[in-house]
Structure 1
Amino acid sequence: MEPTVPDQPYNVLFLCTGNSARSILGEALMNKMGGGRFRAYSAGSQPKGEVHPMSLDVLESFGYPTDGLHSKNWSEFTKPGAPEFDFIFTVCDNAAGESCPIWPGKPLTAHWGVEDPATVEGDGQRQAFVDALSYLKRRIELFLMLPLPSIDEMSVRSKLAAIGREEGASAKAKES
């Protein structure tokens, strides 16, 4: 699978309903781990309007940049001049079941559902965010190992679905 423009990074979009935790974590992870080969974004169908403070705290504590991370509506990426995506990953079960916009191009999609760490309150919340970060990091590591330019689209789709069923997968992701 070739990038949309030769010698340009692959564009990746992480989707969640609120765009305050999991999709933000995915965006930050991919932008650092992708080493310039990938440019990640995140959005939500019903964005909270702000990034969950624990998302930023956990990212920073593990050395991931947080500059520019903000909660935004996915409609931002349907406007003229928006990036054309090569890959779109839903990271929450709600977003996976929603009717998404029609994305320009032909992005490959997969559901990489992880339980929402923002629903955990009290002493366990930080650990829930660390776990979500860890699960998403593992999926991204597996994704980055794929020889994308040399394998066919059906193989990529199959491998993306399998990655979504890795440890920490939400119930809906395990079914995909």
Structure 2
Amino acid sequence: MSTHILVLCTHNAARSVLAEAMFNHWAKKLGVDAKAFSAGAAPSGRIHPQALLALDAAGVERAGLASKHMDLFAQAGAPEMRVVLTVCDSAAAQPCPIWPGAPVRGHWSYPDPSAAPAHEQAQRFALTRQALGYRMLQLVQLPFAKLDNQALQALVQRIGES
């Protein structure tokens, strides 16, 4: 059974999309039966162009990425999430739906690379992608089938502190 991860950021335009793409990149590369999704409470409806460029520069697949509302993943028939992560502080503070299956929750804070001055954005997006990629590599390698939620919660928190 595939493990599903949901990454939330308010506008679902940069950090959460980078995390989704990096998790799926590592899962495919390592042959892990897991899939990440991303969403936001107030999706912008578009992915920031610098996020797409950062993925392209790293050779990471971006097909299928889209900015979408988190309620899509709380509806009947949505994939059951094992982990729900927030990657921006405003998303962490927002009320979230009750997720089917009572997934593990985590918060990994990242500054918004789109808030950087225009001449620094390419570098900020690249660094954010690298940082998320490192954590997503750690996450995708966890033995999900062997972990109960308490153990998984501790590991998600530990990864977020690294």
Counterpart selection for 2:14 from 21, 26, 41: 21
Distance in 2 (alpha carbons) for counterparts of 1:54 and 1:97 = 26
Segments of structure 1 that go 5 or more residues without pairing to the other structure are: 1-7, 167-176
User: Aligned pairs, how many?
Assistant: 159
Does 1:88 find its partner at 2:81? no
Deviations 1:66-107 (A, max 9, x none): 111111111111222111111111110111111101111121
Does 1:55 find its partner at 2:51? yes
Q: Which amino acid aligns with 1:30?
A: F
Distance in 1 (alpha carbons) for counterparts of 2:49 and 2:129 = 14
Which 4+ runs in 1 deviate beyond 3 A?
Answer: none
Distance in 1 (alpha carbons) for counterparts of 2:122 and 2:85 = 24
Counterpart selection for 1:39 from 25, 35, 41: 35
Secondary structure of the residue aligned to 2:35 is strand
Counterpart selection for 2:124 from 128, 137, 141: 128
2:142 paired residue number: 146
Q: Which amino acid aligns with 1:23?
A: S
User: What TM-score comes out, normalization by structure 1 length?
Assistant: 0.85
- Give the % identical residues: 37
2:105 paired residue number: 109
Greater RCO (Cα-Cα under 8 Å, separation 6 or more): 2
Segments of structure 2 that go 5 or more residues without pairing to the other structure are: none
Q: Which amino acid aligns with 1:25?
A: L
User: What TM-score comes out, normalization by structure 2 length?
Assistant: 0.92
C-alpha deviation, 1:65, in angstroms: 1.0
